[in-house]
Amino acid sequence: MRRNGWLERDLIGDTSAHECASRLWLATAFKAAVRDRRVAALSVLLVAGGLAAGSSAWLVAIPLAYAARFLLGLLRGRAHLEAVLAARTLPIDLPSALSFSDDGAKRLIERLERARWATANAAGAGPACNAFALTGLLEEVPGLERAAVVLAARVEYLGRFLDSTTLTVLRNEVVRLEQEREKESDEAARAGLQRLITRCQEQVETLQALTARKATALRTADEILRTLEQIPARIVSLQLARFDSCDVRLADADAHTQAVVEGFAALERATRTSDVGAAPQ
């Protein structure tokens, strides 16, 4: 995995390296500059003055005015802090799965990407009106995504170390040392071998504990991903329930269908009776 700085932050639960605070800061300042009526009015006056004076030199001041307003928005006291706080409530930019070397971490990020895409697709497919809004239902999703990314980073961290050490080799070393101790007749040598065996066993136990920690992180991340992967289907199920509650015609559809069928059947019976009555004797 490339050590570009964000892994270290993710390991301690700081996902700010994936957040869009800087982009949000710039976008907020840009929108404020574009929407400022004072700058727009000044631009109109400059254009009118240029037309009246028959010179286009004044038009140069228009982009300068917008640039000054943009810089003013950037340098406003709490502008950057507000952008940082707003970015913490928004979805993060997911790291690329190719940035991970551990297969478990890669799968977590790939599942997270698919779950996000499916949720956005399900949420965007419904009607865009207040009656079908999902306000409040998806507020916890960005936090769950952040937790999944942190766990993926920790799985990667553990995986890289565990891949460099083989438990089997250590266990074989313990067996070899025990056999050598049994063959040794000198007590001092046997004691030395016993100390080596103890150190190897401690290392084996430490590696086993780290392997268990990685498995625990994977299970926790899997639970988070299972929850996120359920959201698209839950959205569709909720919206269908809303559709059914709004469309009263569907509730009477069976009755109307039966009425149509019975109407045709009655007309057919009446027609057959009329034909029999009109037949020559």
DSSP output for 29-57: HHHHHHH-HHHHHHHHHHHHHHHHHT-SG
The burial of 105, by beta-carbon neighbours within 10 Å (0-12 exposed, 13-18 middle, 19 or more buried), is given as buried
Kindly tell me if the per-residue pLDDT of 130 is higher than 90: no
Q: What pLDDT does 2 receive? A: 46
Report which of 224, 239, 4 is spatially closest to residue 116, judged by C-alpha positions: 224
Q: Indicate the residue among 87, 109, 130 that finishes a domain.
A: 87
pTM of the model: 0.70
Total number of domains in the chain? 2
Name residue, tokens 């140069």. Answer: 60
pLDDT at 11 over 80: yes
pLDDT of residue 276: 56
Structure tokens at 88: 């913490």
Residue 267 domain-assigned (yes or no): no
Q: Give the pair of three-digit tokens for residue 119.
A: 């949720």
Summarised one tens digit per residue, pLDDT across range 101-114 is 999 999 999 999 99
**1 falls within a domain:** no
Tell me the average pLDDT across 186-211.
78
Query: What is the arithmetic mean of pLDDT over 87-96?
Result: 84
Query: Are 78 and 109 within one domain?
Result: no
Are 37 and 54 contained in the same domain? yes
Q: Are 163 and 232 in contact (CB under 8 A)?
A: no
| Amino acid residing at 125 | A
Domain containing 164 equals 95-247
| 27-69 pLDDT, tens digit each | 777 787 778 888 888 777 877 777 777 666 667 777 888 888 8
